[in-house]
A and B are shown apart, each in its own frame.
Chain A
């Protein structure tokens, strides 16, 4: 690796990717290193894909504050992101990829393997078990440490205590458990990254902008797939459904529509998985399941 180790975190707003990066930097600095942590500054909201970054060096001053395009390490907090974002974009040959997934090493490798070391851990299960909430950031720190050794596991305890107070103990537990359970596949040179096309938003030139930056294609936000944000999706039990439309009424995305048979069906393309439809259903016909 280089003098400066560069790490990119992929998560969703509210999942704690930014906190992970912060905790890692605090730990590295406590160990006497030079380190940096920062989010990709943007308007992303709870559920939307977000990125955070770290730079760590043993002694070389870190001067760049630019977003990391060619990371040494990539950490993916949400398995749902693998299909929608090119998380390994720019990941260096011989780098490390750490993924939260319940699918196991072999399957994940077949989906997203490449010329890098791969570590997989079911951080969501660990978090549900220990924290009782699917907040995976501390577990993923454990997996990261196991796969890379960028910091020592013990050094993390104090920053966790400072950050989480009363809840620090269970977070330390989640971290250690992930450290133990993460499975690692070593780097084998020459492996090719799987070809896959990801959605990209075209960037306009200044000449393509309307006068005054006016938008005339009304409702073109429809092309933006908020459905990628969800970690849970609604499933309807037709036996219980009375076709009242209460779910559609209260959906903040206005994405539940009546189908030919009269059932109210959530549009996967937009559904963010908030669970309001399930909660407000009169008859309890809707349940939320992992997306």
Chain B
């Protein structure tokens, strides 16, 4: 029987990890990820999850142990946030290049200095180019569903790429909400067994991790790139299968009230739901606005994205990360994706929600209006940091 429980996203993820029957979790605690790994450790301690929990001495080691586990053929999970993801950084590239389908929850957190344990997407942007599949959840239910799907996608023989599920620190990780948990049996049927074709095996030895001379490095990188780009097919299939089995649909680019909208707001992560409220209010006031939620961050869903926003007049993009001295990271990608279209919306970027700063429903209404003003005045500007005290 499906159960309805009250879980924060952290517990929802731990539950998905349990139902996926992982073999190894190697992790190092960092706020706001701690609830996930504590819960996984507890499930192992209770005998509810038959896995080895490796309490490593750093995040670098957390992901390094995951490399070994995944390469040995174990279903492998880890979680981190902010500084932890930074300490892992070089290992992050290795996991994807070596095609080890580790699933990692990232509880999005700001980066020092100043030290901040609170949420934003600075850590996400620092691993943008690491070759992982990256997916955003917006609430606890999605955190559960998408984590489950992540194992399916990552371990698909046509994919074999590690996958990050991003959840916003505190706004998701620590907020209790209702979550529907499916029956274990149904999950077991949904999720195929993990098999790596080159898993470390004395009967079928293979060498993993050769170095490449300039003569082969480009080819190696292209092979990785093609694998990540092509993974979108499997992502769509798995989400479709999930929808059929469990009744909840996901797609790379999702919208809210965008059908007849001239003006679109783009968000990623938990702020999307706040923005929905703002869209409702503005619509009621007769404004032709809508919301675009980028669920799949990597591989970037170029096609779906262009189809969704191509006909709008104005696209307002919220970045929860400040690329110091540069453009808004999501905004500039979006601009690049649209550049080749003959007709494309004007794009206006805002930076906001840094280091745990909330954006309220009114805040989003103001942001949309401010964006419309800038567009009509023909002054898009490079970046604008939303809600910053000047005096």
Write the residues of chain A forming the contact surface with B, with a CB cutoff of 8 angstroms: 42-43, 203-207, 209-216, 218
> Given A216-B198, A218-B205, A218-B206 in contact, is the A209-B219 Cβ separation under 8 Å?
yes
Q: How many residues of B contact A (CB 8 A)?
A: 25
Residues of A within 8 A of B81 (CB): none
A168 to B258: give the CA distance in the assembly, Å.
79
> Given A216-B198, A218-B205, A218-B207 in contact, is the A211-B220 Cβ separation under 8 Å?
no
Residues of B within 8 A of A216 (CB): 198, 206-207
Residues of A within 8 A of B213 (CB): 42
Residues of A within 8 A of B219 (CB): 204-206, 209
Smallest CB-CB separation from B226: which chain A residue?
A206
A207 to B220: give the CA distance in the assembly, Å.
9
Smallest beta-carbon distance B102→chain A, Å: 13
Asked if B222 CB lies within 8 Å of chain A CBs, one says yes
User: Are A214 and B206 in touch, CB under 8 angstroms?
Assistant: yes
A212 to B210: give the CA distance in the assembly, Å.
10
A204 to B97: give the CA distance in the assembly, Å.
17
Residues of B within 8 A of A206 (CB): 218-220, 222-223, 226
Smallest CB-CB separation from A216: which chain B residue?
B206
Smallest beta-carbon distance B53→chain A, Å: 26
The residue that B210 contacts in the complex, of A42, A205, A207, A213, with Cβ under 8 A, is A213
Closest 10 CB pairs of A and B: A212-B99, A206-B219, A206-B222, A215-B207, A214-B198, A206-B223, A212-B98, A216-B206, A214-B206, A209-B223
Residues of B within 8 A of A43 (CB): 211
Known: A209-B223, A213-B97. 13 other contacts (CB 8 A): A43-B211, A211-B99, A211-B198, A212-B99, A212-B198, A213-B98, A213-B209, A214-B207, A214-B208, A215-B210, A216-B198, A218-B205, A218-B207
A204 to B212: give the CA distance in the assembly, Å.
11
User: Are B222 and A213 in touch, CB under 8 angstroms?
Assistant: no
Residues of B within 8 A of A211 (CB): 99, 160, 197-198, 227
Residues of A within 8 A of B129 (CB): none
A42 to B222: give the CA distance in the assembly, Å.
22
User: Are A203 and B216 in touch, CB under 8 angstroms?
Assistant: yes
Asked if B100 CB lies within 8 Å of chain A CBs, one says yes
Q: Which of A42, A203, A206, A216 has the most CB of B within 10 A?
A: A206
A-B Cβ contacts below 8 A, count: 52
Smallest beta-carbon distance A92→chain B, Å: 24
A203 to B219: give the CA distance in the assembly, Å.
10
Q: Which of B98, B216, B227 has the most CB of A within 10 A?
A: B216
Smallest CB-CB separation from A209: which chain B residue?
B223
Asked if B215 CB lies within 8 Å of chain A CBs, one says yes
User: Are A210 and B215 in touch, CB under 8 angstroms?
Assistant: no
Residues of B within 8 A of A215 (CB): 206-207, 210
Smallest beta-carbon distance B130→chain A, Å: 15
Q: Which of A42, A206, A212, A218 has the most CB of B within 10 A?
A: A212
Query: Which of B229-258 touch A at CB < 8 Å?
Result: none
Residues of A within 8 A of B207 (CB): 214-216, 218
A275 to B282: give the CA distance in the assembly, Å.
84
Smallest beta-carbon distance A152→chain B, Å: 36
Smallest CB-CB separation from A207: which chain B residue?
B223
Residues of A within 8 A of B210 (CB): 213, 215
The residue that B215 contacts in the complex, of A203, A207, A213, with Cβ under 8 A, is A203
User: Are B160 and A213 in touch, CB under 8 angstroms?
Assistant: no
A4 to B212: give the CA distance in the assembly, Å.
32
Smallest beta-carbon distance B38→chain A, Å: 32
Smallest CB-CB separation from A40: which chain B residue?
B214
Residues of A within 8 A of B208 (CB): 212-214
Smallest CB-CB separation from B207: which chain A residue?
A215
User: Are A212 and B215 in touch, CB under 8 angstroms?
Assistant: no
Residues of B within 8 A of A207 (CB): 223
User: Are A212 and B226 in touch, CB under 8 angstroms?
Assistant: no
User: Are B198 and A213 in touch, CB under 8 angstroms?
Assistant: no
Residues of A within 8 A of B100 (CB): 212
Can you sample 29 A-B contacts with CB below 8 Å?
Answer: A42-B213, A43-B211, A204-B219, A206-B218, A206-B222, A206-B226, A209-B219, A210-B198, A211-B160, A211-B197, A211-B198, A212-B98, A212-B99, A212-B100, A212-B160, A212-B198, A213-B97, A213-B98, A213-B208, A213-B209, A213-B220, A214-B198, A214-B206, A214-B207, A215-B207, A215-B210, A218-B205, A218-B206, A218-B207
Residues of A within 8 A of B97 (CB): 212-213
> Given A211-B160, A212-B98 in contact, is the A204-B198 Cβ separation under 8 Å?
no
Smallest CB-CB separation from A41: which chain B residue?
B214
A209 to B212: give the CA distance in the assembly, Å.
11
Query: Which of B172-216 touch A at CB < 8 Å?
Result: 197-198, 205-213, 215-216
Smallest CB-CB separation from B227: which chain A residue?
A211
Residues of A within 8 A of B205 (CB): 218
Q: Which of A205, A213, A215 has the most CB of B within 10 A?
A: A213
Residues of A within 8 A of B226 (CB): 206
Smallest CB-CB separation from B208: which chain A residue?
A214
Smallest beta-carbon distance B191→chain A, Å: 21
Residue interface bits B46-86, CB-to-A below 8 A is 1, else 0: 00000000000000000000000000000000000000000
Smallest beta-carbon distance B128→chain A, Å: 21
A205 to B219: give the CA distance in the assembly, Å.
6
Residues of A within 8 A of B98 (CB): 212-213
Smallest CB-CB separation from B211: which chain A residue?
A43
A215 to B99: give the CA distance in the assembly, Å.
13
Smallest CB-CB separation from B198: which chain A residue?
A214
Smallest beta-carbon distance B243→chain A, Å: 29
Residues of A within 8 A of B211 (CB): 43
A43 to B211: give the CA distance in the assembly, Å.
10
